[in-house]
C-alpha cells in the first residue's frame, strides 16, 4: 500500500468517523482495551524480548496502556471535553442583533504518530498519542519504532480487531514500517494534519522543521525529553539525606534510566555534598548494569559518557561500567555550579542512568541557575516548608522553566490523569501549550469551529438546544449542564 492510498483511506474514514458519537468512539476504545488484555500472553513476551525490559515492567506497562485507553474512552463517552460554547441569538439587541453562534472542538484529520523506543506499549502502537488522536476523532497513520517491530505488528492487529468488532473502517489506523525516509514521507503528505513524536531532540527537531516547510505547515507535538533537575535545599537535605539519596538513585536507575523524566541533574549545597555523595555511592552499589533498549541506545549512552570524561570540570563519583554492546550502568559526576553555569553543554540529556551533581555555595546561585536553565518536562524541589517560603522568587523563576513542578518524590512515574501535564517549554517539547499524557492530550488533535445560525437539526448534538448529550457547556458565558 503506498503512502497516498493510506492517506486517502484515512481521509475517507475521517469524514465519517469525526461525526461518530462519543459513546461509539468510547465503545471502540473499550473493545480495544479488552482485546489487548486478552492478548497479554502473546504481547508481553514479544515486548520483553524486543525491549530487553523485565517482564514485570512490561506487564505493568500493558496495564498502563489499557488504563490510558479507558481514560480516553470515559472522557469521550462523558463528552464535555469538546468545550461546547453557545451564545444564542439576541435578535433585539441594539444597535445590532446578535447571531446564534455555537463553538466546539472538532478533530483535525489524519495524524502521523511516531512510536517511542522506551515504552514499547504505552507510548507506541496503541500508546497515548495514538489513543488520544483516535479519541479526538482523528485517523492515525502510525510509524512503528524499528526497535520493536513484532510487538508493534501484534498490537496493530489488536487495533484492527477492535475496528472490525465495532464496524469501523480499517482506514482509521495504518501501521507503517520503515526508516527515516518513510517517516518523512508521512509527515510531508498533504492530508496529514498533525504529528506526534516522543524521542530524541534531533529526531523531534527534524520533524518539526519538515512540518513547518510544508506548503501547509502542521503542528508537531514532539516530546524530546529533558534533564529534569532536582533542587535540594539545605535543611531538607540535612534532615533526610539518606532517604533522599535513595529516592534519587531509585529514580535515576529505574528502567536503566531510559525515561524522559529521568533526573539527570541534581543541585546539592556544598556543605552536604560529601555526605550526600557517600550515600549515593552506597545506594548505587546494589544496582547492577542492565541491558538497554537496543545497541544503538547503549552506544549513544557510552559515547556521551566518554565525551563527558574529557571535561576537566567534572569529578567522577561513579564511572560507568566498561563500554558494552547492550548494557548500561549508572554513572555520576560532580561539578561546581560556577563551572556548570559556564557551558550549556552540561544541560544536555544523556539518555540512560547518568546524572550531574551540581554543587552550589549559596541560595543565590540557584537564581542564576534558574535563569539559565533550559525548558524542562519537570523540576523537583526538595525543601522544608520554611525554606520554600523564603524562596518564593526562585520558585517563581523555576515555574517558567517546566511543565510540572514537584515537591515530593521523584519525577519518574508520570501519573495518567486529568491534571497531569507532561510537556514543557522548549527544548523539552516543540509545543509547550500541550501535554502528551493525561486527558488533555486529546486537545492536541482538535481545533475550534463555530457555527453561525446553523439550523438545529444540522448542529452536532453537543451544540443542540436542550443539551441532548447532558454535557457541561458554556451558555451565555455561564458554565451549565442545562
Query: What is the torsion angle, in degrees rounded to the nearest 10, for the CA atoms of residue 64, residue 259, residue 134 and residue 172?
Result: -110
SS (H, E, C) 223-277: ECCCCCCEEECHHHHHHHHHHHHHHHHHHHHHHHHCCCCCCCEEEEEHHHHHHHH
Among 350, 354, 403, 462, binds a second copy (CB under 8 A): 403
**Cell numbers linked to 192:** 496529514
Among 164, 180, 325, 449, binds a second copy (CB under 8 A): 449
The SS3 of residue 106 is strand
Give catalytic status of residue 78 as yes or no: no
Helix axes 180-188, 201-213, angle to 10 degrees: 40
- Total residues contacting a second copy by CB under 8 A comes to 78
Q: Show Cβ contacts of residue 244 under 8 Å, excluding neighbours closer than 6 positions.
A: 232, 236, 237, 276, 382
Q: Read off the DSSP letter of residue 321.
A: P
Cβ–Cβ < 8 Å for 380, 266: no
CB of 298 to a second copy, least distance (A): 29
CB of 60 to a second copy, least distance (A): 8
Q: Which of 260, 277, 334, 402 is catalytic?
A: 260
Q: Which of residues 364-393 bind a second copy (CB under 8 A)?
A: 375, 385, 388-389, 392-393
Q: Which of residues 229-248 bind a second copy (CB under 8 A)?
A: none
User: Whose Cβ is closer to a second copy: residue 79's or residue 115's?
Assistant: 79
**Cell numbers linked to 411:** 519525577
Q: How distant is the alpha carbon of residue 7 from its chain centre?
A: 25
Q: How far apart are CA 208 and CA 194, in angstroms?
A: 10
Among 94, 181, 286, 457, binds a second copy (CB under 8 A): 457
User: Whose Cβ is closer to a second copy: residue 80's or residue 161's?
Assistant: 80
User: Whose Cβ is closer to a second copy: residue 303's or residue 389's?
Assistant: 389
CB of 329 to a second copy, least distance (A): 26
**Cell numbers linked to 116:** 517511542
Residue 190 binding a second copy, by CB under 8 A: no
Cβ–Cβ < 8 Å for 163, 169: yes
Q: How far apart are CA 156 and CA 137, in angstroms?
A: 18
User: Whose Cβ is closer to a second copy: residue 208's or residue 301's?
Assistant: 208
**Cell numbers linked to 14:** 475521517
Site string for a second copy, 112-151 (x = CB under 8 A): ----------------------------------------
Among 130, 174, 258, 446, binds a second copy (CB under 8 A): 446
Question: Do you know the residue count of the chain?
Answer: 482
Residue 70 binding a second copy, by CB under 8 A: no
CB of 227 to a second copy, least distance (A): 16
User: Whose Cβ is closer to a second copy: residue 356's or residue 463's?
Assistant: 463
Give catalytic status of residue 223 as yes or no: yes
Cβ–Cβ < 8 Å for 105, 5: no
Q: Which of residues 327-356 bind a second copy (CB under 8 A)?
A: none
Q: Which of residues 8-37 bind a second copy (CB under 8 A)?
A: 15, 19
Among 427, 442, 467, 469, binds a second copy (CB under 8 A): 427
Is residue 108 left, alpha or beta, with left meaning phi > 0 and alpha meaning psi from -120 to 50? Answer: alpha
Residue 101 binding a second copy, by CB under 8 A: yes
Q: Which of 61, 223, 283, 334 is catalytic?
A: 223
Among 99, 164, 190, 325, binds a second copy (CB under 8 A): 99
Site string for a second copy, 200-219 (x = CB under 8 A): --------xx--x---xxxx
Report, in angstroms and rounded to the nearest whole number, the Rg of the chain calculated over CA atoms.
24
Phi and psi, residue 290, nearest 5°: -145, 155
CB of 20 to a second copy, least distance (A): 12
Residue 106 binding a second copy, by CB under 8 A: yes
Q: How far apart are CA 353 and CA 264, in angstroms?
A: 8
**Cell numbers linked to 153:** 505488528
**Cell numbers linked to 159:** 487495533
CB of 438 to a second copy, least distance (A): 8
Residue 451 binding a second copy, by CB under 8 A: yes
Residue 319 binding a second copy, by CB under 8 A: no
> In this chain, which stretch among 21-29, 289-297, 326-334, 440-448 interacts with a second copy, using CB under 8 A?
440-448
User: Whose Cβ is closer to a second copy: residue 117's or residue 467's?
Assistant: 467
Q: How far apart are CA 269 and CA 2, in angstroms?
A: 58
Half-sphere exposure of 178 toward its Cβ, with a 13 Å CA cutoff? Answer: 16
Q: Which residues are catalytic?
A: 223, 260
Amino acid at each position: 500500500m503506498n503512502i497516498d492510498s493510506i492517506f486517502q483511506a484515512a481521509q475517507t474514514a475521517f469524514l465519517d468517523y469525526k461525526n461518530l458519537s462519543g459513546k461509539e468512539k468510547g465503545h471502540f476504545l473499550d473493545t480495544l482495551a479488552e482485546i489487548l488484555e486478552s492478548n497479554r500472553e502473546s504481547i508481553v513476551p514479544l515486548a520483553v524480548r524486543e525491549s530487553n525490559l523485565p517482564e514485570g515492567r512490561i506487564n505493568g506497562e500493558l496495564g498502563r496502556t489499557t488504563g490510558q485507553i479507558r481514560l480516553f474512552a470515559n472522557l469521550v463517552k462523558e463528552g464535555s471535553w469538546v468545550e461546547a460554547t453557545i451564545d444564542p441569538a439576541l435578535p433585539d439587541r441594539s444597535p445590532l442583533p446578535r447571531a446564534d453562534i455555537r463553538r466546539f472542538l472538532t478533530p483535525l484529520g489524519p495524524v502521523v504518530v511516531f512510536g517511542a523506543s522506551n515504552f514499547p506499549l504505552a507510548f507506541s502502537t496503541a500508546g497515548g498519542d495514538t489513543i488520544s488522536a483516535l479519541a479526538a476523532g482523528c485517523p492515525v497513520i502510525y510509524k512503528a519504532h524499528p526497535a520493536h517491530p513484532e510487538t508493534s505488528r501484534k498490537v496493530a492487529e489488536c487495533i484492527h480487531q477492535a475496528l472490525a468488532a465495532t464496524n469501523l473502517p480499517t482506514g482509521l489506523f495504518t501501521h507503517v514500517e520503515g526508516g527515516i525516509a518513510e517517516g518523512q514521507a508521512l509527515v510531508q503528505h498533504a492530508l496529514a494534519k498533525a504529528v506526534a513524536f516522543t524521542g530524541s531532540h534531533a529526531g523531534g527537531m527534524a520533524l518539526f522543521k519538515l512540518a513547518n516547510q510544508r506548503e501547509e505547515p502542521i503542528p508537531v507535538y514532539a516530546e524530546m525529553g529533558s534533564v529534569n533537575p532536582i533542587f535540594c535545599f539545605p535543611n531538607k537535605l540535612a534532615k533526610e539525606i539518606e532517604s533522599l539519596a535513595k529516592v534519587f538513585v531509585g529514580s535515576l536507575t529505574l528502567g536503566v534510566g531510559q525515561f524522559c523524566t529521568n533526573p539527570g541533574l541534581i543541585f546539592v549545597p556544598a556543605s552536604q555534598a560529601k555526605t550526600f555523595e557517600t550515600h549515593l555511592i552506597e545506594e548505587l552499589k546494589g544496582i547492577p548494569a542492565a541491558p538497554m533498549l537496543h545497541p544503538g541506545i547503549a552506544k549513544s549512552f557510552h559515547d556521551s559518557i566518554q565525551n563527558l570524561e574529557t571535561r576537566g570540570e567534572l569529578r567522577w563519583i561513579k564511572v560507568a561500567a566498561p563500554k558494552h554492546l547492550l548494557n548500561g550502568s549508572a554513572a555520576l559526576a560532580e561539578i561546581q555550579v560556577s563551572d556548570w553555569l559556564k557551558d550549556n553543554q552540561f544541560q544536555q540529556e544523556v539518555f540512560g542512568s547518568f546524572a550531574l551533581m551540581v554543587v552550589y555555595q549559596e541560595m543565590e546561585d540557584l537564581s542564576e541557575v534558574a535563569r539559565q536553565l533550559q525548558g524542562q518536562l519537570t523540576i523537583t524541589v526538595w525543601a522544608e516548608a520554611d525554606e520554600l517560603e523564603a524562596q518564593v522568587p526562585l520558585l517563581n523563576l523555576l515555574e517558567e522553566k517546566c511543565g510540572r513542578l514537584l515537591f515530593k518524590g521523584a519525577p519518574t512515574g508520570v501519573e495518567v490523569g486529568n491534571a497531569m501535564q507532561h510537556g514543557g517549554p522548549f527544548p523539552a517539547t516543540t509545543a509547550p501549550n500541550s501535554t502528551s499524557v493525561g486527558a488533555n492530550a486529546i486537545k492536541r488533535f482538535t481545533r475550534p469551529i463555530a457555527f453561525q445560525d446553523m439550523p438545529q437539526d444540522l448542529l452536532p448534538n453537543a451544540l443542540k438546544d436542550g443539551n441532548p448529550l447532558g454535557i457541561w457547556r458554556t451558555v451565555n458565558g455561564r458554565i451549565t449542564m442545562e
